Amino acid sequence: MFTEKKSVGEVCIVCNEVKNLGIHLYTSFICTECELEMLHTDTSNPNYKFFVQRLKKVNTPQIYS
Ligand SMILES: [Zn+2]
């Protein structure tokens, strides 16, 4: 039997999956897997842009013009 933990899980902004482990960036949540993947992704890697775009959503919830 699993002991009932109060880990509800949160939706990761990068992979959009509900994960229990991760970090909080402002009001958003990034799971440990994505965090590690980001750390291991070289800045010249096309995937890096993807991550950066995701993170931009965190910093700029609204666009002022
Ligand atoms: Zn994730």
Distance CA 5, CA 41 (A): 32
* Rg of the chain on CA atoms, in Å: 14
pLDDT at residue 59, as a whole number: 63
- Mean pLDDT taken over the chain: 83
Distance in Å, CA 8 to ligand 1 centroid: 15
Ligand 1 centre from 18 Cα, in Å? 8
Place of tokens 């960036």: 25
Helices 32-40, 46-59: crossing angle, 10 deg rounding: 130
Q: In this predicted model, what pLDDT tens digit does every residue of 6-36 receive, in sequence order?
A: 567 899 999 999 999 999 988 889 999 999 9
Q: What pTM does this model have?
A: 0.67
